[in-house]
Structure 1
Amino acid sequence: MTTLIETFAGVPAGSKLADALKMRTEILRLSEAAHDALLLPRDPGGLSHALRAALAARMCRHVGNDALAGHYDSYLAHTGDLDVAPLAHPVGTCGEPRLDAVARHADLLTIAPRAATRQHIERLKAAGVSEPDIVRLAELAAFVNYQLRVVAGLKVLKGVQ
């Protein structure tokens, strides 16, 4: 079974890269499980499934991976909750201070993660984001950015074969 990472990296079946990835099947399986757990958790807390999908698409667009952004757009469309759809785009806002603050923080964690400070967390709290949701947001951002980097790295390796 081909994973999302392999699909979006365009790893050709039977290639040397595909063979190399077979030795890392556990990592790919765990990456797939993390994707599912973070996008569609049983208890999403204050980050709905739709919001998670919109934020993931936004992060992908920030780094120029429109194909992976489209994957997350399809999750968003499937939720039926299009109120957060503007947040799927880097400059998009929805006019709700808490959600817009979450989107800005996702931007920071994608574009300049080292610049994130305690002050940014305090801004999220001031906007009404709970501590558990701040952790959920950090987990989502960490995973999506990991996924983007692995896909980008595999694309480079694919070109070197």
Structure 2
Amino acid sequence: MITDVIDHLAGITPGSPLDRLRDRRPDAREHAQRAFDALFSPDEEGEVTLVERDAVAAFVAGLHQDHAAAGFYTGRLADLAPGLVPAVSAEVAAGRVKGPYGVYPDGPLAAESEVGPRYRVHDPEALGERLTAAFEHAHLLVFRPREASGDDLDALAEHGWGPTGVVTLSQLVAFLSFQTRVVAGLRLLGQKGTATS
């Protein structure tokens, strides 16, 4: 059983310099793990099933091109719904782009606008209506956050996502973005040997 997912993904072993480094911020370490537990092992599934949570996580980790995280969440999904794994993997491959990008409305930031492709699920039948909408929304949040609008929330609602489900979905995407960045930073520190006790 994994007691700290960030340690697991970053390859941190007990007593190592990175372990001691993380011990300097015990609250941050504890809260990151609690966030994972709340999102992926809730007392009740609520509006978002465990399968949907792990499918979205595998997709988002794949978009971030973090192989360890993508493998971890794909493995979790394979335990619950192995038939979904090929469809999710295909969507990761189809959804990878360089980013972030997006268009700012008129104003001081408009000059920083960069138009990019709009992702649409390639095999909606394989994912089903709810996951199709979730993947398209997750891709928006990962690569085009500046373009997110009320219309995008309406699109989720039209495909079976209630308010609580939308919040959970957004939290999943935000957590995965946070987690992959923390893990990447810890790995880099480990490679450079800059984590000292």
Residue in 2 aligned with 1:121?
153
Q: Which runs of 5+ in 1 are unaligned?
A: none
Cα 1:87–1:94 change in 2 (3 A) is farther
Residue-by-residue CA offset, 1:80-121 (whole Å, 9 max, x unaligned): x34543235424644222320111111222223233222211
Question: Is 1:150 paired with 2:182?
Answer: yes
CA contact (8 A) 1:62 1:111 kept: no
Which whole-Å CA distance do the structure 1 matches of 2:188 and 2:135 have between them?
A: 29
Point out the structure with the larger helix share.
1
- Counterpart check, 1:31 vs 2:63: no
The residue that corresponds to 2:78 in the other structure is 77
1:18 aligns with 2:50: no
Matched, 1:108 2:109: no
Deviation at 1:137, TM superposition (A): 0.3
**Alpha-carbon spacing, 1:73–1:158, altered in 2? closer, same or farther (3 Å):** same
Separation in 2, partners of 1:2, 1:43 = 20
How many residues align structurally?
A: 160
Give 1:7 shift: 2.1
SS class of match (1:29): helix
Give TM-score scaled by structure 2 length: 0.72
3-state SS in 2 of match to 1:43: coil
Secondary structure in structure 2 of the residue aligned to 1:34: helix
Identity %: 31
8 Å Cα contact 1:51-1:84 kept in structure 2: no
**In the alignment, is the contact (CA less than 8 A) between 2:140 and 2:148 conserved in 1?**
yes
Partner amino acid, structure 2, of 1:142: A
Q: Which deviations, in whole Å up to 9, do the C-alpha atoms of 1:103-156 show, x marking residues without a partner? A: 111122222323322221111112222111111101111111111111011122
Instruction: Name the SS for the 1:64 alignment partner.
Output: coil
* 1:53 and 1:73 in contact (8 A); partners too: yes
Deviations 1:35-76 (A, max 9, x none): 121012122223210111011011111011121111112221
Amino acid at match of 2:70: A
Counterpart of 1:53 in 2: which secondary structure? helix
* Structure 2 unaligned regions, length at least 5: 95-121
Residue 97 of structure 2 corresponds to none
CA distance in 2, matches of 1:134, 1:83: 25
**Residue 121 of structure 1: SS of its match in structure 2?**
helix
CA RMSD of aligned residues (A): 2.2
After TM superposition, give the deviation of residue 2 of structure 1 in Å: 6.3
